[in-house]
Chain A
Amino acid sequence: MATTYRTCPISGLQFENHAEKLMRWNAVAGVLWLLVGGITALLVILTRWPAIKLLPADQFYTILTAHGIDMLILWILFFEMAVLYFASSTLLRCRLATPKVAWLGFWLMVIGGIMTNVAIFQGGSSVMFTSYVPMQAAPHFYLGIILVAVGALLGTAVFFGTLVVAKKDKTYTGSLPLVVFGALTAAIIATFTILAGAGILIPTFFWSIGLIKEIDAQLYRMVWWGLGHSSQQINVAAHVSIWYLTAAVIFGAKPLSEKVSRFAFLLYILFLQLASAHHLLSDPGMSAEWKVLNTSYFMYFAVMASMIHGFTVPGAIEAAQRRKGFTNGLFEWLRKAPWGNPVFSGMFISLVSFGFLGGISGVVLGTEQINMLMHNTFYVPGHFHTTVVTGTTLAFMAITYLLVPVLFRREMILPKLCQIQPYLFGISMSILGLVMMGAGTLGVSRRHWDMAFSGAPFQYEWPGAAYLMMGLTGIFGVIAVIGGGLWILLVVGSLLFGKKLDGGKVSDKPTPIPANPIAQSASHSGSDEHVGVPGTVVLAGLLFVCFVLYYFVNWKYLSEVWLLS
């Protein structure tokens, strides 16, 4: 198919015509799903806020199911498709492989997403994101998710194909850029995640139309989490790639060590998948040996990988800033960072919140015995709102401030509000995650309509602190929804009314990446090349101390409950 290449005058990035259109459509579709997910988020929050309790039970469970599906699957997957096309075609400056297949994938995802939402809002499929059997949804609930998965698999295949095109057309020399390598990690994880999903959702679909008599409830949970958790690992690989991308674009940051960062991504591919087991720690069907082996993510190799990225991303920024002369004290490099640029502020809040809140809580939650203190409590959504939301979603929001001018060729409107938005959303969502974890620590259940247990044969009074935490959840939840809504408003407003920007030169041939973009004035090996990163060392040390303390505090809590054996 004939195509053209446009070189963006702002960023120097080169966009191939088909890839550019696909990125735009996928990103816009993602934003629309985020809008639906955001409205449902507000309704969920206002119902769980004990003082308000907006919706009746049946509507609450319907809305909560929609919130999970629209956020965790649809918003994130559509945006990730755009990220994959960007990381392949744009960063490698080559044509997109088989754009027709990519469009087919896009439309399958659109149709599937709408189909599942129709099933949910018809009311007969309030089975939650997890749809544990034997609770049954309408057949088109499962079929829609299957179509989305097939569409995403096609998009992933196009990504792999594009890497082959770049190699064949020699648009770059040497190894893949680190960000593309990270995206490749995400795509590889996506492939086996989607296959696990097919392995359980296709039989479940047949069960829902009566072709299969029974699906074992424990087996379903095990295979389903191969989809449910692993898909969050795609997000981790994707947003870590975006952290590196942001560091590169804003600071010209070079990875501290290509070897270490790539090795950490490789650990994700090898070990993250096993993390899915931590959803089954309080299940009857698996042995303690199986749980310990899998939840230690094979001795925490994946945790180690995240700790490495948590060090090398700020480390790369610090090194770049110090090279520019911000060398005073421990933190001049950080103080003088462009905090008014939402691309950077969003990325950095994402990094800190994901590390300190999402990361630490996730590892504690994923410890075999400690899991009994938190399984199915409000702690769990508290944890993943600080991974998937302040981690992934905030990283995606931040990079969009870059994509609107270069990809959509529009200036962002209301720049003052753009500056505030990452703080408003990132900080309120981080506090939301914390107070949710607080409520969970006090025992409050997730996916539960009524803390007063109306209609129950007994009464149980939650401690007052639990009500306080749920009230705070309501307040910060509403602020977070406002912060998210503001982002949608700014992005959609800019796409419609932003000042049009010059698209840059168009050519019918790609310009390959020059073999050596920067003259090699110094040797690139040898230890004198390393710039010291004392500020990052202090930050990492702080993270580690918090991690260790919080980990052992939870063992202390556990030692105080009833004895179990």
Chain B
Amino acid sequence: MSAILPPTNRLWWKESIAAVEWVWIGIAFVWGMIMFGMMLYWHIFGKQNLSNEVYKTTPEMFAAKAEKFIAENTVRIETGLNGEEIPVAKIPAGGEGYLIARLWNWYPTLELEAGKEVKIHLSSMDYNHGFSLQPVNINIQVIPGYEHVVRMTPTKAGTYAIVCNEYCGIGHHSMLGRIYVK
């Protein structure tokens, strides 16, 4: 009779299913297929898909490549609020740049051009970090040992912040980076 007793009809699997239930099951199924199809559709026609280009790396290897990029592409040095010197490295249109995530900063500051695609190599030197571009609101996990090559095209000029949004210890809240888009 009720859900806490065995089914009254011992052959419950032979009972018919009401039409309205069939309709709802059908709607749920078709909707699931549409949502599945949307992800595929976006991979083909959408403009925001997370890159699949990833390499295994080590903090040492990644840092060496990043330092080389910074040495060759620094356009100016800025002074942070705590007096620290932060290089601003410009990634030329169609070029490649590196962004280090480490306790507790994003290094270096990057400069991009609006409407021009660049490749940004992301990796962590220590713990997990979260690349959270604000106020655009793009969020990507950054994991030590993995070099993630993300192709990005900024749409508008401005000054953007990179918040760390994966908990990385006591200084987590001070891990704030910057991207300029000219």
Q: Contact residues of A with B, CB < 8 Å?
A: 57-58, 61, 91, 128, 132, 134-135, 172-180, 216-218, 221, 244-245, 247-249, 252-261, 280-285, 287-288, 292, 295-296, 299-301, 303-304, 307-308, 311-312, 315-316, 363, 367-369, 372-377, 441-443, 445-450, 453-460, 462-463, 513, 516-518, 520, 524-527, 529-530, 532-533, 537, 540, 544, 547-548, 551, 555, 558-559, 561-565
**Cross-interface CB contact of B4 among A135, A249, A300, A446, cutoff 8 Å:** A249
Closest approach, in angstroms, between the C-beta of B171 and any C-beta of chain A? 7
| Assembly CA distance A180 to B2 (angstroms) | 12
**Cross-interface CB contact of A135 among B54, B128, B136, cutoff 8 Å:** B128
Is B50 among interface residues, defined by CB-CB distance under 8 A?
Answer: yes
Q: Count A-B contacts at CB 8 Å.
A: 327
Q: Is the interface of B mostly helix, strand, loop or mixed?
A: mixed
Given the known interface contacts A285-B146, A300-B35, the answer about A375 and B139 at a Cβ–Cβ threshold of 8 Å is: yes
Complex interface bits, B17-31 against A, C-beta within 8 A gives 1, otherwise 0: 111110011011101
**In contact, A520 and B8 (Cβ under 8 angstroms):** yes
**In contact, B138 and A562 (Cβ under 8 angstroms):** yes
| Assembly CA distance A368 to B167 (angstroms) | 22
- Residue numbers in B under 8 Å from A256 (CB-CB): 18, 21
**In contact, B84 and A457 (Cβ under 8 angstroms):** yes
**In contact, A530 and B50 (Cβ under 8 angstroms):** no
Given the known interface contacts A132-B127, A458-B80, the answer about A282 and B143 at a Cβ–Cβ threshold of 8 Å is: no
- Residue numbers in B under 8 Å from A292 (CB-CB): 36, 39-40, 43
- What would 17 more interface pairs be, CB under 8 Å, given A173-B6, A248-B3, A260-B21? A177-B4, A221-B143, A258-B7, A259-B13, A288-B49, A316-B3, A376-B165, A377-B139, A443-B163, A447-B172, A453-B174, A455-B173, A513-B5, A525-B14, A525-B16, A548-B31, A555-B38
- Residue numbers in B under 8 Å from A284 (CB-CB): 54, 122, 140-143, 146-148
Chain B interface residue count, CB cutoff 8 Å, equals 96
- Residue numbers in A under 8 Å from B132 (CB-CB): 376-377, 443, 445
**In contact, B38 and A217 (Cβ under 8 angstroms):** no
For residue A92, which residue of chain B has the nearest CB?
A: B6
Closest approach, in angstroms, between the C-beta of B124 and any C-beta of chain A? 8
Is B32 among interface residues, defined by CB-CB distance under 8 A?
Answer: yes
| Assembly CA distance A502 to B33 (angstroms) | 54
Which of B64-72, B91-99, B152-160 binds A? B152-160
For residue B47, which residue of chain A has the nearest CB?
A: A563
**In contact, B3 and A445 (Cβ under 8 angstroms):** no
For residue B142, which residue of chain A has the nearest CB?
A: A284
For residue A176, which residue of chain B has the nearest CB?
A: B6
| Assembly CA distance A456 to B147 (angstroms) | 25
What 8 pairs between A and B have smallest CB-CB spacing?
A: A457-B80, A300-B32, A445-B165, A284-B148, A460-B161, A248-B2, A456-B176, A455-B174
| Assembly CA distance A562 to B117 (angstroms) | 10
Supply 8 A–B pairs (Cβ within 8 Å), ascending by A: A134-B144, A216-B145, A217-B145, A248-B4, A254-B2, A257-B18, A285-B146, A458-B81
**In contact, B143 and A285 (Cβ under 8 angstroms):** yes
- Residue numbers in A under 8 Å from B25 (CB-CB): 260, 304, 308
- Residue numbers in B under 8 Å from A218 (CB-CB): 143, 145-146
**In contact, B1 and A517 (Cβ under 8 angstroms):** yes
Q: Which of B10, B36, B155 has the most CB of A within 10 A?
A: B36
Closest approach, in angstroms, between the C-beta of B133 and any C-beta of chain A? 7
**Cross-interface CB contact of B6 among A177, A532, A558, cutoff 8 Å:** A177
**In contact, A458 and B167 (Cβ under 8 angstroms):** no
**In contact, B127 and A135 (Cβ under 8 angstroms):** yes
**In contact, B28 and A307 (Cβ under 8 angstroms):** yes
Closest approach, in angstroms, between the C-beta of B50 and any C-beta of chain A? 6
Q: Which of A173, A299, A304, A547 has the most CB of B within 10 A?
A: A304
For residue A537, which residue of chain B has the nearest CB?
A: B20
Closest approach, in angstroms, between the C-beta of A168 and any C-beta of chain B? 16
| Assembly CA distance A256 to B165 (angstroms) | 45
**Cross-interface CB contact of A564 among B48, B86, B167, B172, cutoff 8 Å:** B48
**In contact, B127 and A134 (Cβ under 8 angstroms):** yes
